[in-house]
Chains A and B, each alone.
Chain A
């Protein structure tokens, strides 16, 4: 296999997360001793029932939260050793996000939403790049529409454009089709995988959708905070 020779974009070592139980007593373990390695260009689906810790894992992989144990490396940088602002900067540089509820800024139009990651990073060519990506996702005619004026599918396309515009090494998607009908969802998935291929991005997505998971090169099953079946570290 050539995979193991590639540089890992994401590496997780003995990751664990526990939170204080609501009713007192011992801590509630959400993730336990989780290790995995994701290579550049791979597409990986994380599946599992509700409460299995999928969202928690995604949050930890993105550095949105800190683990109770273990370490995470993103593109060679140890995420878990950085402070919040440094993690934010790293996110801005190397991570793209697509959410179930789109999470576009309601106050900004499509173009402005897409420009945002570039502007936050202080890049100059924000407008041109944002326009190009929106054109790519088929919204060239709707640059100046506000999120509220766009359909769900269009909003998610804006979100995908925003996720790709900064050319991230890793794209994380949280139930990207969860709020869309089947037809629109299929289009979105096509778009996501096309862009992923074109730009050589690594894709990690969390989903309930078996069809969507099936399109990924690898599927990780999460159950009660542990990875099952398919090898955690290829």
Chain B
């Protein structure tokens, strides 16, 4: 404990005298940056999850094929959750022009708990948002139902035994997801009118839903308590179980935000290592004196370990609080832009901040500081002895391993994580080689022009080791910044570009096989865009690799749901453009285009993982009472956000052809041409046309919101990078102070010194920027092509921006950081030495 008290005393004095200012600043910036990003990321992710919750019209949805158990409602009420009830079923709706199958949804008060309903006065009129379901006695219907029934808004239709007036055209329903491809037009009515229809009776297939909304903790709690007690036909759906294309967007968002956070940590650790070396260098004498006074090596090591521990804990907590403040400010600025209220941050980023603080200190500050215990005692007599040895990668091995683990964890996937790691390591190596090369090149530059310029260059050349290290540090920082601007700019554009303006916005489903040719001809004759018609066969999965599929055997809820529901199988000879085979092989065809082996399946990788289906497993499906069994010969990755019709399970045409099937197609209909579909519906009244432009707008809004979040998180990382540059400048401050004092004593004017410093830092920054541009371009290309599977459109701006940003940024930051050098009276500096 004596060691602790001495350590604390030294620490306090060091803090007070400013000895530790740089190290602590680096640490605080590190932790603040990390926690601010983590807090903000956490809140944005929570908000995005809620946004995804709009697709459920709730935070959580309890579904049952029988009336909702009273216990669920009581439990929800006890937790203070808001609720709304829904019933859904299919029924014919009658109008003057005949009968039409409709998806009927009866909604109780409160619906929708998340998202909004939009209605319009006429099929192609402007829509407006409304709160709550239609009033009693009225229904809102989707436009196709109007033309099918030959009615307009204001007319009455018959639903079961009830006559209900059409109050408006239903344009958007937040939870119009689920069986996107198998639905009839929607008729939305008030739950209170349902008994009068007489449609809900024994034997009718009604789906009962209880929507729940409220604080995330209560929602999680409800889910946790209800999940184990679910009976047959009952299930829970959260935002994460909602539509696959939304899940794809969320996963990508997490990767982007995680990437930004990791970069912050890497930069911070560079700063910590630099500041710690400076700290160690300035404590060489202290340690030599301590050794001289009889301190053992262990005592000295203990002294500094205590100091780091205290510093780490304090820095972690303080930085965490600063991070909380920083993100609060950020959230305030962003609140209006994000359009959704950000939920309160959770506490885990504080722990993460503490871990980063201690990890960063012990990984990157401990090695140089521990080296102090071996300072030769003779240094007390001969000051030139026992300088710090230059750091090697091995010195920071533990820290680097910690960082690697962090990168992998944040990347959330091995592929992205390993690519990032490889990128960082490669950048480090290349930066070291290239920085050293460039510094060496400077030596051969003609020494002409202004004396200040010559002096600045000479300064770089004279300290090749330090110059190389700094070009490398600046280069790394700038590279990451440029990379992020590449990621944010090029990759984000490419990502958003995946949803081209002509992405499909209409689906036509329930096309009967005998209508297929007529519909195709109709498309051709009326000038509708050429479309691909995908066959669809309803099937139930019975067995995987000889084991009967038992939904209860899956602990994963998504798997359980997938195992209970009917699959839409499809057949195809060729692989769709938005599908990639990730395991096994796509079927081969003969010269005539016939698939050589008809008995095989290709399964989407996500569902395969959920259900535990492996390549080579035999799947057995029940299709309209007939058993179809075949092995899985390939796993596909589906780009769900292409918004095209896609299927979990595909088979060669020969396996399924002849089984009861319907066809589905998707195409892009330019805005304002919606009326052209009336003719299609008049001619083929049994078809269902789904307008997904509203759904797409929703997906697009989510993507845009994610992009915005990434941009703002990137601002934080930029700040961290700039602070690292400052720490690097601080590292050379002692030497500069002494040097410039000598020059001043020899008669150099301030202007001369200033110009010399400017020349030095601008050159340093310019070189680093050049390197950074090259590496960012390379790494961006690797990320784009290998991981995100995007076409990379590298920008020539990199090459201009890199050196310019480096020269200007390092130049300004350098002058600001070395202002003391110019400002200090030379005598004080010389005497202090």
Residues of A within 8 A of B (CB): 55, 58-59, 62-65, 84-85, 88-93, 95, 97, 99, 101, 103-109, 112, 116-117, 119-122, 146, 148, 162, 174
Contact = CB atoms under 8 A, between A and B. Distances in A.
Interface residues of B, number: 29
A64 to B, nearest CB: 4
A103 B17 CA distance: 17
Contact of A85 (B17, B298, B383): B298
B50 interface: no
Interface string B8-48: 01100110010100000000000000000000000000000
A3 to B, nearest CB: 28
A65 B376 contact: yes
Interface in B349-386: 376-378, 380-383
B515 to A, nearest CB: 88
30 contacts: A55-B381, A55-B382, A58-B381, A62-B292, A65-B377, A65-B378, A88-B295, A88-B296, A88-B297, A88-B377, A89-B296, A91-B293, A99-B381, A103-B285, A103-B288, A103-B289, A103-B292, A104-B289, A105-B10, A105-B290, A106-B286, A108-B9, A108-B10, A112-B9, A112-B13, A117-B294, A120-B294, A121-B294, A148-B17, A162-B293
Contacts of B296: 85, 88-89
A65 B288 CA distance: 12
Contacts of B10: 105, 107-108
Contacts of A148: 17
Given A103-B285, A106-B17, A64 B377 contact: yes
A62 B381 CA distance: 11
Contacts of A105: 10, 286, 289-290
A112 B376 CA distance: 23
B584 to A, nearest CB: 65
Contacts of A90: 294
Contact of A108 (B13, B378, B380): B13
Interface of B: 2, 6, 9-10, 13-14, 17, 19, 285-286, 288-299, 376-378, 380-383
Contact of B294 (A92, A103, A108, A174): A92
A97 B377 CA distance: 12
Contacts of A55: 381-382
B297 A146 contact: no
Nearest to B831: A152
Which of A85, A93, A101, A120 is the most central at the interface, judged by chain B CB atoms within 10 Å of its CB?
A120
A85 B286 CA distance: 17
A117 B376 contact: no
Closest 7 CB pairs of A and B: A92-B294, A107-B13, A64-B377, A85-B296, A64-B378, A65-B378, A117-B293
Contacts of B383: 101
Nearest to A162: B293
Given A64-B380, A108-B13, A119 B6 contact: yes
A112 B383 CA distance: 23
A91 B292 contact: yes
A122 B6 CA distance: 11
A88 B291 contact: yes
Contacts of B298: 85
Contact of B2 (A65, A99, A117, A119): A119
Given A65-B377, A88-B291, 16 more contacts: A58-B381, A64-B376, A88-B296, A88-B297, A92-B293, A103-B285, A103-B292, A105-B10, A106-B19, A106-B286, A107-B13, A107-B14, A112-B9, A121-B294, A148-B17, A174-B381
A85 B297 contact: yes
A64 B2 CA distance: 25
Nearest to A103: B289
Contact of A116 (B19, B290, B378, B381): B290
A107 B286 contact: yes
Contacts of B13: 107-109, 112, 146
